[in-house]
Structure 1
Amino acid sequence: MFSKLKPWLLPILSGVFIGTSYIPFPPWASLFCFVPLWLFWSQQTSLKRVLIGGFITAFVFTLIGFNWVTYLLHEFAHLPWAVAGVGMLVYGLIAHLFVPLAGLLWLLWFLGQRQWQWSARLSLGLMAMITVLCEAYSFTLFDWNFGYSWYGSNLPVYHWAEFIGFSGLSALTLLANLPLLIAWQKRKQTSGKLLAGLVLFGFVLLNVSGLGLQARLPKPDASFNVLMIQASIENSEKLAAELGKGFGDEILHRYLTQTDEALNRYQDRKIDFVLWPETAFPALLGEQFKNDPASISLADFLRERQLPLITGAYSVDEKLRLITNSLFVLNKDGEIVPPHYSKSILLAFGEYIPLEQYFPAIRNFLPTTGHFARGSGPTELLAWNGYQ
Structure 2
Amino acid sequence: MANSAALAASVLSDRISALQESQTIAMAKKARELIAQGIDVINLSFGEPDFQTPEYIKDAAKQALDEGYTKYTPVPGYVDLRQAIADKLKRENHLDYECENIVVSTGAKQALANTVLSLVNPGEEVIVFAPYWVSYEEMVRLAEGVSVTLMGALENDFKVTAAQLEAAITPRTKLIMYSSPCNPTGSVFSREELAEIAAVVARYPQVHIIADEIYEYINFVGEHVSIAQFDEIKDRVITVNGFSKGYAMTGWRVGYLAAHKQIASACEKMQSQITSGTCSIAQRAALAALKGGRSSADEMVEAYRRRRDLVLELVADIEGLITPKPSGAFYIFPDVSGFFGKTAPDGSVIENATDLAMFLLNDAHVAAVSGEAFGAPSCVRFSTAAADEKLREAFLRIKDSLKRLV
Q: Return the structure number with greater helix share.
A: 1
Q: TM-score scaled to structure 2, two decimals?
A: 0.25
Say which one has the larger Rg: 1
Q: Which protein, 1 or 2, shows the higher relative CO under an 8 Å CA cutoff with sep ≥ 6?
A: 2
